Amino acid sequence: MKTIPFLKMSGSGNDFIIIDNREAVVPEAQLTRLVIGACRRKMSAGADGMIFIESSTNRDFKWRFFNADGSLPDMCGNGARCAARFAFIHGIAGRQMAFETLAGTIEATIGDDTVKIRMTEPRDLRTGIIMDLKGTPATVGSVNTGVPHVVMVVDDIEAVAVGKTGRLIRYHPNFAPDGTNANFVAVKENGTIFIRTYERGVEDETLACGTEMWPQR
């Protein structure tokens, strides 16, 4: 059995398996199978996604990011921060770096205990979208920050059925065929914002989302 070194990392609760694949330790034909198997909770290492660090000709590196179900999203904010920390730890890049993603070039800055990234510019902003969720009307906004997001403002963040309602939004015809992440936001009187996320590709609630933006004008 071949040994494949990896690191398990967490970005604000999003967890990822990261592999240095610049020397193709995982062959192309086995990538998706490995992702689905290794990301499976309780049966393996378990993760929201898997990141392969690959060589780049014009940036410090490029990544191949997979959701836990084997799908290929364009971007993941918390995954990008973990990938940047991984690259710094392993001497692949310095404290200032840039790397390729399907969404475009991501810039990162490594601090002593923080990682900051500059994502690509958001696009496709829409507000005041009226949706029918199995007979229940809902008003939402949407924006693409490298990953498509729908955001619904709610009064009680704890009462939201994230799995059920999130799934209805994620697979709604308005956002076919690729689907969307579904985010629920509650704003308290002191300005504190609480967020819960149903993540496409994980197909469940995750503990954080690093690409979310509240699409309010």
- Please list the active-site residues: 76, 209
Parallel/antiparallel/unpaired status of strands 61-67 and 49-54: antiparallel
Q: Which residues contact 65 (CB under 8 A, 6 or more apart)?
A: 49, 50, 51, 52, 72, 73, 75, 76, 79, 83, 101, 102
User: How many CB atoms within 10 Å of residue 159?
Assistant: 9
Tokens of 89: 């730890």
User: How many CB atoms within 10 Å of residue 120?
Assistant: 17
Count of CA atoms in the C-beta half-sphere (13 A) of 64:
17
